[in-house]
A = this chain, B = another copy of it.
Amino acid sequence: MNYPNGIKKIFKINTSNRGMTLEQDLNDTNLYYRNNDIAVIYKKPTPITINKVDYKSRKDAVIKEAHFIIPSTTDYNGIYKGLYIDFEAKETRKNYFPLANIHNHQIEHLRKIRKCGGIGFIIVRFVLKNNTYLLEIDKIDKFLDNSNRKSIPEEYFIKEGYLIKQGYNPYLDYLKIVDIIKESEK
């Protein structure tokens, strides 16, 4: 179960003190992509179940009780140059990525995306070094097939993934990596 992450994320969305979290970087980058007609990629709302809604007037309904639920898919999806894009983004303060941070059904979801002709990956930031990598689903599978470890070391991201260079406008140009991957497949 991964509620703590989910919950932490919520607070990041809803406080003014956002800092430069990976999520914020991705939201800014996706906004840049949309505003410049490069791609249409959004973060999905956090899934919840609502138990109680108070609505005196229909205009201002207030949710009085709701619970976080485990997402059945990944956080981000959209379209770029006709290509379906789907990924999950995570931060880690370790020098490895704990596999507990991603749900099995999210891995399964990314496999299905690949099967259907889309591109599925994870974006992982190693916070202490501020290194952010893109790792494709088939490279995650390659790791799972060849290791019993409960975490993916940064070395594997260096070897099998792509470091996303940070710049300005967009801050985290991960679609440049998608271009490189598509180019290499030709």
A interface list, Cβ under 8 A from B: 1, 3-4, 7, 10-11, 13-14, 34, 37, 39-40, 42, 44-51, 53, 55, 58-68, 72-73, 77-84, 86, 109, 112-113, 115-118
Name the residue of chain B whose CB is nearest to the CB of A58: B4
Question: Given contacts A51-B14, A113-B79, is CB(A3)–CB(B58) below 8 Å?
Answer: yes
Name the residue of chain B whose CB is nearest to the CB of A47: B45
Report the Cα distance A40→B120, complex, angstroms. 12
Cβ contact within 8 Å between A42 and B84: no
8 example contacts (A-B, Cβ-Cβ < 8 A) are as follows: A4-B58, A14-B49, A14-B51, A40-B109, A62-B67, A79-B113, A79-B116, A80-B116
Question: Given contacts A82-B84, A113-B40, is CB(A59)–CB(B1) below 8 Å?
Answer: yes
Name the residue of chain B whose CB is nearest to the CB of A1: B59
Question: Given contacts A81-B116, A115-B37, A116-B80, is CB(A3)–CB(B61) below 8 Å?
Answer: yes
Q: How many copies does the complex hold?
A: 2
Report the Cα distance A37→B59, complex, angstroms. 40
Name the residue of chain B whose CB is nearest to the CB of A10: B50
CB distance from A2 to the nearest CB of B (A): 11
Chain B residues positioned under 8 Å from A115 (CB to CB)? 37
Report the Cα distance A51→B46, complex, angstroms. 14
Report the Cα distance A64→B116, complex, angstroms. 39
Cβ contact within 8 Å between B82 and A118: yes
Report the Cα distance A84→B84, complex, angstroms. 6
Cβ contact within 8 Å between B72 and A42: yes
Cβ contact within 8 Å between A63 and B48: yes
Cβ contact within 8 Å between B112 and A34: yes
